[in-house]
Structure 1
């Protein structure tokens, strides 16, 4: 199935089976490896991307639903890692293993775009379903508060880029 969509601000056409999940399009067709395969059933959040600014589980979104879609991945959230959530993730030192971080950051960015000053309860509700096997939930909450305090967060509006930026919020070597 031929589909035209916009990924990270760049118009893209793909030809893939209609039931292929967006996650595999991103990773295998477009070589964007930020979104991770965690569970394959939309329960863990590791594959979270933005669809028109809202967080979605890319493992559950088939190619057949992508015509004209506007998708933003962690690579497109901020090409240089300067998004307030990415900066806060680094400052608070959120990651431990880092596997869930792209999905966590995408969900947090969407939350702050909708609600620039969330309460702890609102953060918990918005981040529910983004699992972290290392249990860094308190640091995730702290980073969301830090991002909210440092600047206004706007919905994802990526600059078109082909560069593969460092993914803020990943473990340091």
Structure 2
């Protein structure tokens, strides 16, 4: 019966700042808003596909949440550079500062994390075309690509 999640909502402290972030930084298309009610809605993946709603609230009503945006694998290859160019600090799942994204072997998928102006944890994630390998746990993306013959190993 359920085919996906159509919408999710976040409470934010500054609707204008969040509007700028989600439209100009993340790249979502504005769908609708009611300034008098303190809300703004954004299409995800094209009109009618999915939606993100933002609601301006008192800071005491804003609790940190997490959600992930699905992106194409080709876009994931540029995601860190894209976000860095917009002044957004990124990190991997382990937040280990090695400067490399990880693959969740059980899916398998690769992702990068960042935060919005209210500290909500956001993620760009891309499914990989490979068979899941849950026994590997988390693997640096470069290692995963080597295991699947997409990157030549150094022979020096």
Give the TM-score normalised by the residue count of structure 2: 0.29
Bigger CA radius of gyration: 2
The structure carrying a bigger strand percent of its residues is: 2
Higher helix share: 1
